[in-house]
């Protein structure tokens, strides 16, 4: 029989206590308790339909037909990436800020994302005569809403640290519309390229501000491959065969443009990571998560190819800028889950689900997210009107 002498016992206890202390101090393996989101229609869960001066398309059938069975203000047939992330984290769907708070507060999160929003202020586009008929609720306005909300979130702002360190901040996707408006109004590639560093700067400033308010985990999505989008393929149709990628049918120079934005975004994120080593800034590679569909649509069940929209006004990509999804003359496919493109610019729930899956289970989050609470969510999620 081995008897432990008291010094040995003491060391053992000391060791165990040290271990416990170590794991407590270094434990980042907690559940997220809320999601704060900023962005555009890729993440809008119902803000734009609440702005009275714009009859948002996403308030019309067949938007929402697949999962919610009614339009909720989401620009898809069903759930968005942010909805799948909320499900995976065991959190309720992130309620839209403009919907008001139904439970007295937004402690489990709030969504400021607004369809049509740009990263740069509305004035930037007005000065350049690039009309944005949808909204002036740019990233800067959304950050202002966030600041307005702080007093009701935390008793003593900016003392929101305790809430924010367990929150996931979704910063984007944002910036896509800064390019969509000028490209679809046929402004030159050379001009639009000059916007990219400014857009990246706006996103970087938002990340910096949120970290200063106490954000510790931030997810920053890339731009999608715009050259594969039905609106771009329709409006910027080219007679030159060499403009198209023979494998995917996407417009190569436009995807290269998205890649340029994403490259600068990654550089900016590296700069911010060095500046804020205590924050985890996660790149969400929407671009490559989506490129899988265009390269091998069949593999994901998209058996009608990946470029033709489910809902739209006809033509080779079922996209016509004068007959949009939700309006008279547009048709909708029978099975949206076999399509990547929902309308001319947004993706189907099926595509968003694959993207969310590729983020959470890898490899498209960088670094990957660390929490023991993935997939603990029930299937009974409250959602907000």
Q: Which stretch binds ligand NAG (CB under 6 A): 107-115, 134-142, 280-288, 361-369?
A: 134-142
For ligand NAG, give the closer residue by CB, 133 or 190: 133
**120, two tokens:** 């740069």
> Cα(119)–Cα(137) distance, rounded to whole angstroms?
9
How near is the Cβ of 53 to ligand NAG at its closest, in Å? 6
272, 204 contact by CB (below 8 A) = yes
- Residue 266 interacting with ligand NAG (CB under 6 A): no
- Residue 323 interacting with ligand NAG (CB under 6 A): yes
> Cα(106)–Cα(89) distance, rounded to whole angstroms?
16
> Cα(124)–Cα(192) distance, rounded to whole angstroms?
12
For the beta carbon of residue 267, count every other beta carbon within 10 angstroms: 12
Site map for ligand NAG, 39-78, x if CB under 6 A?
A: --------------x-------------------------
- For 308, residues 6+ apart whose C-beta sits below 8 A from its C-beta are 230, 316, 317, 318, 339, 341
Per CB under 6 A, the list member of 135, 138, 217, 262 interacting with ligand NAG is: 135
How near is the Cβ of 241 to ligand NAG at its closest, in Å? 19
Q: Which stretch binds ligand NAG (CB under 6 A): 6-14, 129-137, 181-189, 264-272?
A: 129-137
Per CB under 6 A, the list member of 277, 322, 378, 380 interacting with ligand NAG is: 322
> Cα(375)–Cα(361) distance, rounded to whole angstroms?
11
Q: Which stretch binds ligand NAG (CB under 6 A): 153-161, 210-218, 317-325, 358-366?
A: 317-325
Rg of the chain (C-alpha set): 22
- Residue 142 interacting with ligand NAG (CB under 6 A): no
How near is the Cβ of 303 to ligand NAG at its closest, in Å? 24
DSSP assignment of 179-218: HHHHHHTT--HHHHHTTHHHHHHHHHHHHHHHHHTT--EE
How near is the Cβ of 135 to ligand NAG at its closest, in Å? 5
**141, two tokens:** 């306005």
- Residue 315 interacting with ligand NAG (CB under 6 A): yes
How near is the Cβ of 347 to ligand NAG at its closest, in Å? 21
322, 313 contact by CB (below 8 A) = yes
Determine whether 41 is an active site residue.
Answer: yes
**10, two tokens:** 């003491």
Per annotation, catalytic residue among 34, 37, 41, 48: 41
For ligand NAG, give the closer residue by CB, 45 or 234: 234
- Residue 136 interacting with ligand NAG (CB under 6 A): yes
> Cα(185)–Cα(181) distance, rounded to whole angstroms?
6
């Amino acid at each position: 029989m081995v008897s432990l002498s008291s010094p040995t016992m003491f060391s053992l206890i000391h060791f165990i206590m040290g271990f416990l202390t170590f794991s407590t101090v270094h434990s980042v393996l907690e559940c997220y308790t809320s999601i704060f989101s900023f962005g555009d229609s890729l993440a809008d869960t119902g803000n734009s339909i609440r702005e009275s001066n714009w009859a948002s398309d996403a308030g019309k059938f067949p938007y929402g037909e697949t999962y919610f069975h009614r339009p909720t203000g989401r620009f898809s047939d069903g759930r968005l990436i942010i909805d799948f992330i909320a499900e995976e984290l065991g959190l309720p769907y992130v309620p839209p800020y403009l919907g008001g708070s139904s439970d007295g507060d937004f402690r489990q999160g709030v969504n400021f994302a607004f369809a049509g929003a740009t990263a740069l202020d509305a004035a930037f586009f007005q000065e350049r005569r690039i009309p944005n008929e949808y909204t002036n609720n740019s990233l800067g306005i959304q950050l202002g809403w966030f600041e307005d909300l702080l007093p009701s979130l935390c008793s003593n702002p900016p003392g929101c640290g305790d809430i924010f360190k367990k929150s996931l901040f979704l910063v984007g996707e944002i910036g896509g519309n800064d390019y969509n408006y000028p490209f679809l109004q046929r402004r030159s590639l050379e001009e639009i390229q000059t916007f990219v560093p400014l857009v990246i700067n706006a996103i970087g400033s938002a990340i910096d501000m949120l970290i200063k308010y106490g954000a510790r985990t931030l997810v920053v999505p890339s731009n999608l491959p715009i050259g594969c989008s039905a609106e771009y393929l329709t409006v910027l149709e080219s007679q030159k065969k060499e403009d198209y990628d023979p494998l995917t049918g996407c417009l190569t120079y436009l995807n290269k443009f998205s890649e340029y934005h994403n490259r600068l975004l990654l550089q900016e994120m590296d700069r911010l990571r060095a500046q804020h080593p205590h924050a985890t800034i996660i790149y969400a590679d929407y671009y490559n998560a989506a490129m899988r569909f265009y390269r091998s649509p069949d593999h994901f069940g998209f058996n009608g190819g990946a470029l033709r929209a489910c809902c739209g006004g006809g033509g080779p990509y079922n996209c016509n800028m004068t007959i949009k999804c939700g309006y008279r003359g547009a048709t909708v496919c029978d099975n949206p889950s076999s399509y990547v493109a929902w309308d001319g610019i947004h993706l189907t729930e099926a595509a968003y689900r694959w993207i969310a899956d590729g983020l959470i289970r890898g490899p498209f989050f960088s670094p990957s997210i660390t929490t023991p609470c993935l997939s603990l969510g029930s299937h009974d999620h409250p959602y907000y009107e």
